[in-house]
C-alpha cells in the first residue's frame, strides 16, 4: 500500500501548492475541487463506483457482497487551511483508496459496500461553521448556514457551492445523501495534530473521543489607567496583575480537575494591553484575552465553565477590576464507538503495530458522524511538527500501517 500512497500524494502535491512547501486548498475553491477530481479519477482507475452529492462530497465505492447491507465509510476532508500541509485531511482519503486498491488487487470482496468519502469544507477557517460537508451529507446542515460567508471572498456558502457545481437548493430543501441508518461504521484516518505519538515512538493511535470546547473569544479585564509612579499599591486597579491572578487560579482549578481524573486542556492567550493606550509609565487599565477549554466530557466542560465564572468573580473583587468574559461558545464532545475502538486496537495488536489509545484535541468529521448516530472511530498517524503548517511530517509507512489496522478491523482476513 505504501507505493500507492507515495504516488497519490505526489500527484496531489501538484494541486494548490504555494511554492514554498505549503498548500492552500480553500473550501469550495478550485484547489479543493481539483483534489476531489484527482481522487475520483484514481478511484475510476481502480474500478470503483464514483458518485457526488449535492454538497460536492465524493463517494468512491468498492461494492460488497450484499449491496443492501449498511456500508462502511472511510472518509476525511480534502480542503486545507491557508499555507497548510499536504497530509491534513487528504491522508484519510489516500489511505481509503489504498485500502480499496489492496482489496481489489487480491480479489477480496467485503461483506458490505466499502465507500471512500472525500469530504468538503472541514477547515472552519474558511466558513465559520464546523463540518459543513459531512453534515450536509447527513442532512444536518441548517438552511441558514448556506448564507454564511467565506472569510477571504466575503461570498456566501451557497454561492461558492454553486460555483463548484453543487446544488445548494437541494440542501436547502433538506436533501441528504447518507441516511445514518445506512452507514454501519464511519472510520477516519488522520494525521495526529499533537505530539503524543511521535514523542512515544508509536506509528498509530486509536482515538477514543473528540474533545468538545468551551470558548471565550473576546474577554477583557477592565481596570483603571493610572500613573505608574504616583499611584500607591492599595489604590491601583491593575489589569495585568489581575490577569496573573486569573491565570494562577484557573491553573489551580485545572489541577483539581486533573487530580479528580477528568479530561481537560486549558489555553489562554491573545493577552495584551493596547499598545496605543498603554505606556511604560502607566498602570494598565485594560487587558484583552481569549480562553479555550476542551474536554472529552461534557460534564467537565460544565464544571470548568462554572470555575471560570467563580474565579473571574473572586479576582475581580480582590483586584478591584471588572472582568468581562464576553460571549461563550460551546461544542459538544463526541465519543467514538467503543466496539470500533476495541476492534481497531485489537487489529493493531494482531498486526504487532505499536499503538495506544488517545483523545483527539481537534475537531474532525468523525464528530459529525458520531453526532448523527453513526458508530464512528478514528485512527491517528504519527506526525511531527503538528498540522496546519507546511512542515507536517508524516511517514507514508505509518499511513500504510494505519490503513492495515483499519482493514484488519473492518474486513477481517484482508490485511
Instruction: Give the residue with the Cβ less far from Zn ion, 169 or 196.
Output: 196
Instruction: Give the residue with the Cβ less far from Zn ion, 89 or 359.
Output: 89
Instruction: Give the residue with the Cβ less far from Zn ion, 88 or 249.
Output: 88
Instruction: Give the residue with the Cβ less far from Zn ion, 88 or 297.
Output: 88
Q: Name residue, grid cell 437548493.
A: 169
- Total of chain residues touching Zn ion, rule CB under 5 A: 2
Residue 106 beta carbon to Zn ion: minimum distance, rounded to whole angstroms: 30
Q: Name residue, grid cell 489504498.
A: 98
**8 A C-beta contact, residue 372 and residue 140:** yes
Query: For residue 145, what is the DSSP state?
Result: G
Instruction: Give the residue with the Cβ less far from Zn ion, 89 or 213.
Output: 89
C-alpha to C-alpha distance for 231 and 248, rounded to whole angstroms: 25
Q: Is 96 in the site for Zn ion (CB under 5 A)?
A: no
Residue 385 beta carbon to Zn ion: minimum distance, rounded to whole angstroms: 15
Residue 360 beta carbon to Zn ion: minimum distance, rounded to whole angstroms: 10
Residue 178 beta carbon to Zn ion: minimum distance, rounded to whole angstroms: 19
Picking from 240, 206, 246, 187, the residue whose alpha carbon sits closest to that of residue 365 is 187
Binding mask 41-80 for Zn ion (x = CB under 5 A): ----------------------------------------
Instruction: Give the residue with the Cβ less far from Zn ion, 89 or 396.
Output: 89
Residue 122 beta carbon to Zn ion: minimum distance, rounded to whole angstroms: 6
C-alpha to C-alpha distance for 39 and 37, rounded to whole angstroms: 6
**8 A C-beta contact, residue 27 and residue 121:** yes
* Alpha carbon 379 to chain centroid, angstroms: 13
Residue 191 beta carbon to Zn ion: minimum distance, rounded to whole angstroms: 8
The total of other beta-carbon atoms located within 10 Å of residue 19's CB is 5
Residue 392 beta carbon to Zn ion: minimum distance, rounded to whole angstroms: 10
- Residues 180-199 touching Zn ion, rule: CB under 5 A, are none
- Residues 73-92 touching Zn ion, rule: CB under 5 A, are 88-89
The total of other beta-carbon atoms located within 10 Å of residue 354's CB is 15
Task: Please provide residue 154's backbone torsions phi and psi, each rounded to the nearest 5 degrees.
Answer: 75, 0
Instruction: Give the residue with the Cβ less far from Zn ion, 87 or 225.
Output: 87
Strands (DSSP E) contained in 120-262 are: 183-191, 204-210, 212-222, 226-227
Binding site for Zn ion (CB under 5 A): 88-89
Amino acid at each position: 500500500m505504501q507505493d500507492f500512497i507515495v504516488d497519490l500524494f505526489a500527484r496531489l502535491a501538484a494541486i494548490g501548492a504555494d511554492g514554498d512547501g505549503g498548500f492552500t486548498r480553500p473550501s469550495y475553491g478550485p484547489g479543493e475541487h481539483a483534489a476531489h477530481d484527482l481522487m475520483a479519477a484514481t478511484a475510476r482507475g481502480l474500478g470503483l463506483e464514483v458518485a457526488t452529492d449535492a454538497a460536492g462530497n465524493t463517494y468512491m465505492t468498492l461494492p460488497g457482497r450484499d449491496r443492501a447491507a449498511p456500508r462502511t465509510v472511510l472518509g476525511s476532508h480534502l480542503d486545507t487551511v491557508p499555507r497548510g500541509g499536504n497530509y491534513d485531511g487528504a491522508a484519510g482519503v489516500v489511505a481509503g483508496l489504498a485500502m480499496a486498491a489492496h482489496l481489489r488487487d487480491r480479489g477480496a470482496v467485503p461483506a458490505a459496500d466499502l465507500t471512500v468519502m472525500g469530504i468538503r469544507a472541514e477547515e472552519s477557517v474558511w466558513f465559520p461553521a464546523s463540518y459543513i460537508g459531512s453534515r450536509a451529507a447527513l442532512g444536518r446542515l441548517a438552511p441558514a448556514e448556506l448564507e454564511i460567508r467565506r472569510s477571504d471572498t466575503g461570498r456566501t456558502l451557497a454561492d461558492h457551492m454553486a460555483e463548484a457545481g453543487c446544488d445548494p437548493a437541494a440542501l436547502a430543501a433538506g436533501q441528504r445523501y447518507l441516511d445514518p441508518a445506512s452507514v454501519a461504521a464511519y472510520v477516519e484516518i488522520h494525521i495526529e495534530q499533537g505530539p503524543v505519538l511521535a514523542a512515544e515512538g508509536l506509528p498509530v493511535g486509536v482515538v477514543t473521543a473528540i474533545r468538545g470546547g468551551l470558548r471565550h473569544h473576546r474577554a477583557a479585564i477592565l481596570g483603571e489607567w493610572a500613573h505608574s509612579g504616583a499611584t500607591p499599591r492599595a489604590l491601583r486597579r491593575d489589569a495585568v496583575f489581575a490577569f496573573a491572578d486569573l491565570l494562577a487560579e484557573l491553573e489551580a482549578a485545572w489541577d483539581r480537575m486533573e487530580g479528580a481524573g477528568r479530561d481537560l486542556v486549558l489555553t489562554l492567550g491573545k493577552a495584551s494591553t493596547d499598545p496605543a493606550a498603554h505606556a511604560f509609565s502607566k498602570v494598565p487599565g485594560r487587558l484583552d484575552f481569549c480562553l479555550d477549554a476542551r474536554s472529552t466530557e461534557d460534564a467537565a466542560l460544565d464544571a470548568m465553565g462554572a470555575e471560570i465564572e467563580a474565579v473571574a468573580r473572586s479576582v475581580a473583587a480582590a483586584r478591584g477590576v471588572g472582568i468581562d468574559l464576553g460571549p461563550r461558545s460551546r461544542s459538544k464532545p463526541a465519543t467514538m464507538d467503543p466496539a470500533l475502538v476495541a476492534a481497531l486496537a485489537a487489529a493493531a495488536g494482531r498486526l504487532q503495530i505499536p499503538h495506544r489509545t488517545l483523545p483527539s484535541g481537534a475537531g474532525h468529521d468523525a464528530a459529525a458522524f458520531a453526532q448523527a448516530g453513526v458508530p464512528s472511530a478514528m485512527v491517528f498517524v504519527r506526525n511531527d511538527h503538528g498540522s496546519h503548517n507546511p512542515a507536517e511530517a508524516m511517514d507514508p509507512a505509518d499511513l500504510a500501517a494505519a490503513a492495515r489496522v483499519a482493514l484488519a478491523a473492518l474486513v477481517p482476513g484482508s490485511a
